[in-house]
């Protein structure tokens, strides 16, 4: 029986088109999902869209279409982005689906049955024009003590009937949970923030609204809709079939990983576990928050025009390069910055020059000098053994790094070996051995090819187009590409016929025309 591994992205809010931040989270999750599958896990990878709430209603009005039509249109865009990025999610959930209404109402009833939901009044400064509440610090004061929203609209103090969740009573339970599960929140810096936040004390949470109706109705109180987070967070168990405990995917819960942006850490590490505890459901194993991306050190925003269209970028640089860059260049969990120059540098240096050219230079020698077959493996020298050992050690290094979701460290370690292999190849100089010691040449080429096999296997989660292509060039059978095969026992067999080598990654050559590259000119989103 395989170990199960259930991971999720946050569900995206589709009141606009997907942007690079959405893409980044999805492809990081995808790399983890692929990694786990290759490492023998039974993976369930979930993503989707969070379609309720006031902002969807407002955007729909602005665009003059029914809100469900807006949701349908934009959810389709998010789905399409996933396909362009080669995301291997097993399900795509939308919070407007009937199954999700069932699950949301079921968890609500359980929290209510547990005595954690009560009716009271939510009060605050409300702007009729904006249809939204504002905090005291967001307001500006005008003549005669009148207060105004950031939009300039006047606000009034209103009290609204609302259901509340007894979050305050979960303070100690949450602190105990964090204490007993030190890996629950990552990275470490986020954990510190959450713990200190909870320690300061929690107050009960308003979890329903009557001011709009675009949401999941509260059971037995249809004039209330669930406020966005109760509904949104529940998507993770909806996808497991909740409340049907006999559902096929029910055993995947609790999730092994919620991958989210750092901005929504509180909802996932405070509210969500409290809801689940209240409903008598298991709490997820880990929540990991990634950082934000900056374009040349500037925050991405529509107003500065540097919001990039991820599909256009993937098509421009190539999917593998796009994925590789963001997973390799940015310390996973921290904020990162990117630029056209940085992407091109990575693409050319790491992919085309280091790995692509290594495959090309070695396999073309095999093709010309070894009858296009895996060369004969002779006695191994110390240099051969050192290099092979470094390659075989990568699997364990990758697993260790994955334990902290240090995707960048995995790629760093793999490319260290790519560099070692180029140095080995230059040092052994098989083109010289061809004349002086052909048998030794074959051994050098065999060692190089075997290292490439390991690299091909381990890079599959990150560069899902080129890695299989590399394994094809080495004639590695489709059923021999799991991490289980990344060891000496499955080494290349001399004499196996190989196809003619072809390039893995094209070099990026700067276009003649200026301003046509997505990293240089922002395409407003």
Positions touching RNA (CB under 7 A) are: 13, 50, 53, 124, 132-133, 135, 167-168, 189, 192-193, 196-197, 200-206, 227-229, 232, 262-264, 266-267, 329, 331, 334-336, 345, 348-349, 352-354, 356-357, 359-362, 364-365, 419, 422-423, 425-427, 429-432, 503-507
Q: How many CA atoms lie within 13 A of 423 on its CB side?
A: 9
d(CA 246, CA 272): 23
User: Scanning the structure block, which residue is given the tokens 């003590």?
Assistant: 145
CB of 134 to RNA, least distance (A): 7
Cα 417 from chain centre: 26
Q: Whole-number minimum distance, CB 73 to RNA, in Å? A: 19
Q: Where would I find the beta strands (DSSP E) of 128-246?
A: 132-134, 140-141, 147-148, 156-165, 185-186, 205-206, 208-209, 217-218, 221-226
Q: Rounded to the nearest whole angstrom, what is the least distance from the CB of residue 393 to RNA in the complex?
A: 16
**Which of 349, 488 has the CB closer to RNA?**
349
3-state helix, strand, coil in the chain (%, to 5): 50, 15, 35
- Least Cβ distance, residue 268 to RNA (angstroms): 11
How far apart (Å, rounded) are the C-alpha atoms in residues 93 and 99? 9
Residue whose CB is less far from RNA, 43 or 228? 228
Query: In angstroms, rounded to a whole number, what is the distance separating the alpha carbons of residues 192 and 199?
Result: 11
- Nearest residue (CB) to RNA, 209 versus 481: 209
Q: How far is the CB of 103 from RNA (least distance, A)?
A: 18
> Are 236 and 279 contacting, i.e. CB atoms less than 8 angstroms apart?
no
Instruction: Tell me whether residue 33 or residue 454 sits nearer to RNA (CB atom).
Output: 454
Min dist. Cβ of residue 201 to RNA (A): 4
334 vs 396, which CB is nearer to RNA? 334
Of residues 225, 289, 321, the one with CA closest to residue 518: 321
Q: Is 158 helix (H, G, I), strand (E, B) or coil?
A: strand
At residue 159, the 3 state secondary structure works out as strand
Q: What is the nearest approach in angstroms of RNA to the Cβ of residue 423?
A: 4
Those residues with Cβ within 8 angstroms of residue 43's Cβ, 6 or more apart along the chain or in another chain = 4, 5, 6, 7, 33, 36, 37, 90
State how far Cα 424 lies from the chain centre. 35
Q: Rounded to the nearest whole angstrom, what is the least distance from the CB of residue 391 to RNA in the complex?
A: 16
Taking the least distance from each CB to RNA, the nearer of 82 and 336 is 336
**Pairing between β-strand 42-49 and β-strand 4-9 as defined by DSSP bridges:** parallel
- In 327-415, beta strands by DSSP E: 336-338
- Both structure tokens of 385: 């053994």
* Cβ contact 41:67 at 8 Å: no
- The token pair that represents 517 in the structure block: 């590259």
Q: Take residue 210 and report the two structure tokens written for it.
A: 């009557």
Tokens encoding 234: 């529940």
Nearer to RNA, 253 or 325 (CB): 325
Return d(Cα 301, Cα 298) in angstroms, integer: 9
**Nearest approach, Cβ of residue 331 and RNA (Å):** 6
Q: How far is the CB of 505 from RNA (least distance, A)?
A: 5
Residue closer to RNA by CB (options 243, 501) is: 501
Name the residue nearer to RNA (CB basis): 88 or 353.
Answer: 353
Closest CB to RNA among residues 82, 356? 356
């Amino acid at each position: 029986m395989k170990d199960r591994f259930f991971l999720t992205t946050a569900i995206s809010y589709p009141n606009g088109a997907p942007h690079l931040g959405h893409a980044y989270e999805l492809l990081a999750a995808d790399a983890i999902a692929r990694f786990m599958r290759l490492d023998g896990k039974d993976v369930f990878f979930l993503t989707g869209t969070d379609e309720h709430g006031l902002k969807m209603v407002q955007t729909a009005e602005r665009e003059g279409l029914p809100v469900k039509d807006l949701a349908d249109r934009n959810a389709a865009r998010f789905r399409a982005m996933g396909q362009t990025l080669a995301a291997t999610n097993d399900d795509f959930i939308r919070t407007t689906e009937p199954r999700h209404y069932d699950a949301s109402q079921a968890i609500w009833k359980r929290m209510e049955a547990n005595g954690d939901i009560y009716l009271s009044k939510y009060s605050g400064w409300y702007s009729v024009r904006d249809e939204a509440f504002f905090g005291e610090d967001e307001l500006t004061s005008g003549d005669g003590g009148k207060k105004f929203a950031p939009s300039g609209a006047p606000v009034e103090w209103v009290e609204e009937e609302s259901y509340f969740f007894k979050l305050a009573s979960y303070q100690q339970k949450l602190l105990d949970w964090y204490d007993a599960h030190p890996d629950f929140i990552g990275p470490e810096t986020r954990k510190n923030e959450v713990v200190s936040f909870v320690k300061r004390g929690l107050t009960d949470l308003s979890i329903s609204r009557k001011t709009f109706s675009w949401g999941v109705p509260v059971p037995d109180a249809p004039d209330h809709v669930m406020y966005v987070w109760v509904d949104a967070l529940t998507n993770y168990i909806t996808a497991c079939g909740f409340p049907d405990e006999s559902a096929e995917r029910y055993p995947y819960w609790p999730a092994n990983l919620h991958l989210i942006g750092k901005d929504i850490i509180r909802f996932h590490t405070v509210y969500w576990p409290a809801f689940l505890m209240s409903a008598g459901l298991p709490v997820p194993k880990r929540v990991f928050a990634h950082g934000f991306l900056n374009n040349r050190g500037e925050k991405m925003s529509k107003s500065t025009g540097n919001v990039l269209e991820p599909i256009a970028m993937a098509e421009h640089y190539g999917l593998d390069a796009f994925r590789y860059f963001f997973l390799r260049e940015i310390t996973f969990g921290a904020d990162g910055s990117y630029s056209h120059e940085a992407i091109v540098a990575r693409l050319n240096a790491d992919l085309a020059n280091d790995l692509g050219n290594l495959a090309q230079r070695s396999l073309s020698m095999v093709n010309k000098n070894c009858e296009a077959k895996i060369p004969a493996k002779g006695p191994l020298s110390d240099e051969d053994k050192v290099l092979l050992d470094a390659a075989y050690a990568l699997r364990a290094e990758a697993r260790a790094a994955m334990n902290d979701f240090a995707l960048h460290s995995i790629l760093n370690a793999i490319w260290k070996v790519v560099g070692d292999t180029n140095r080995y190849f230059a040092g052994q100089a098989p083109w010289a051995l061809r004349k002086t010691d052909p048998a030794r040449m074959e051994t050098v080429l065999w060692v190089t090819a075997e290292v490439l096999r390991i690299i091909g296997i381990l890079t599959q989660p990150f560069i899902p187009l080129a890695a299989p292509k590399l394994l094809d060039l080495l004639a590695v059978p489709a059923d021999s590409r799991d991490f289980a095969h990344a060891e000496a026992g499955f080494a290349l067999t001399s004499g196996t016929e190989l196809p003619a080598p072809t390039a893995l990654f094209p070099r990026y050559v700067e276009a003649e025309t200026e301003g046509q590259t997505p990293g240089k000119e922002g395409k407003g989103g």
